[in-house]
Amino acid sequence: MRFSPKVHKLGKLRVVLVPEERESVTVRVMVGTGSREENDQEAGSAHFLEHFVFKGTKEFLGMYDINEAVEKVGGAFNAYTGQNEMGFWVKMDKDHLNLAAKIVGQVVTDPILPKEHFDKERGTILEELHMYEDRPSSKAAEECEKLIFGKTNMGRPIIGTVKSLNEMTVEELRRYFDKWFVAENIVVGVVGAYGKDEEVLEIIRKEFVSLIGDERKTPEKNKFVWNEQKEPRFKLTSRKVEQAAVAMAFRGIKMNDERRWALGLTNMILGDGWLSRLMKEVREERGWAYGIGSELEMFPDVGSLFIGAGLPKNKLNEAVELIIEISLGLAGGSKWQINKEELETAKNTFRGRLALSFDRPEEVLGSALVDTIFREKIYSPEEMVEKVEKVTLKEVQDIAKEIFKRENLSVSVVGNYKKLDFKI
């Protein structure tokens, strides 16, 4: 796969250029902050800010000016907030690179944060929060995060709480913005047929001018430390619903741990795809789920493996016990032990998925920006494949033995029950 990212520095601002022959160009900014950099009073600030920067900037003054500028040329834009980072991007045809860079540059350097629109946006975000609360799978996942990470910044919902949102002010958003949106903590990326590097860099200099000479230091970031867990943790949220929404989590590893390649393959075998154990055994063989799967969360200082499923009310105990049996059995000593053939299949799956993902410019740029902010280097697809190819069966079984322990487990259920009665 052709992947030739070039990293430039404009003062402390890092710029990643990824040349690709395509009709579009995508400009994306990643900021190395998220919900974990908030205290309880500030909870939801990053996510609120992600919405609100688009409601007016120095050059796009009106509430709809950015929307109109993007729509008029058939482009697309969006933003997101995680626990560790925020992202803002605009995608347009390659003739509109200047406009895409201007819009992204404006929202991360010159947002107005207009007070006259603040309460309306607060209402929108509160409705988003209520939507997640009303959605059993989202509620189960949120409560599972609280179980595994406890009363820490990592365990608090990204969106904030009703209390923190109702008490939030524009001034608090501005303080969060001024604190974390510093050049040293930001990476700008461009992918597509953008022409000569120097021409793009000149555009970046112009549209991100206030960051070019920014000498501010990135504030000290939140650090997470596991507390002691000696037995599984459970949480039931009673709701009159027709299905049991279940979220389960095991403590994982950090994003730069070299064993992440082995854990990624282990996760594929467990629950990431149609050939996975969970899909075959819980959905196909028993018909106990429509949607079921597992995924990894990895941060610089901590990680987890999540399993999510929608299960029949009358099969909850049996299904949860089977999922746990399969998970604990991956390391060996049972029929669920990972074998060499499954490992080779997972490696083939990884290669194929990677090739498909690098067909999408957003994935290409996202990979490069995450590596730039959180890793020691940008990994090429070839390097990723090489790392995966070297994973041995013993390494997979060893990481499974470390991760899948009963005492590392947290289980959250949203369903029509008065109590949980698992035999674990």
> Do the beta carbons of residue 64 and residue 101 sit within 8 Å?
no
> Do the beta carbons of residue 384 and residue 260 sit within 8 Å?
no
Domains and CATH numbers, the chain: 6-212 (3.30.830.10), 233-415 (3.30.830.10)
Where would I find the H helices in 28-74? 45-52, 65-71
What is the tens place of the pLDDT at every residue in 367-424? 999 999 999 899 999 999 999 999 999 999 999 999 999 999 999 999 999 999 887 7
The whole-number pLDDT of residue 254 equals 97
CA distances from 308 to 30, 123, 152, 245 (A): 28, 29, 22, 8
What is the tens place of the pLDDT at every residue in 22-60? 999 999 999 999 999 999 999 999 999 999 999 999 999
The number of CA neighbours under 13 Å toward the Cβ of 291 is 9
Q: Among residues 203, 223, 191, which one has the least CA distance to residue 36?
A: 223
Q: Among residues 158, 225, 420, 413, which one has the least CA distance to residue 307?
A: 413
Number of H helices, E strands in the chain: 16, 11
Evaluate if residue 231 carries a pLDDT over 70.
yes
Rounded to whole angstroms, the Cα distance separating 153 from 299 reads: 13
Choose between 73 and 359: higher pLDDT. 73
Mean per-residue pLDDT over the chain, rounded: 96
- pTM for the structure as a whole: 0.94
> Do the beta carbons of residue 424 and residue 326 sit within 8 Å?
no
DSSP bridge pairs for 184: none
Evaluate if residue 4 carries a pLDDT over 90.
no
The number of CA neighbours under 13 Å toward the Cβ of 132 is 17
DSSP bridge pairs for 28: 89, 189
Evaluate if residue 347 carries a pLDDT over 90.
yes
CA distances from 58 to 68, 92, 95, 110, 180 (A): 16, 21, 23, 6, 20
At 377, the amino acid letter reads K
> Do the beta carbons of residue 140 and residue 134 sit within 8 Å?
no
What is the tens place of the pLDDT at every residue in 245-254? 999 999 999 9
**pLDDT band with cut points at 50, 70 and 90 for residue 1:** low
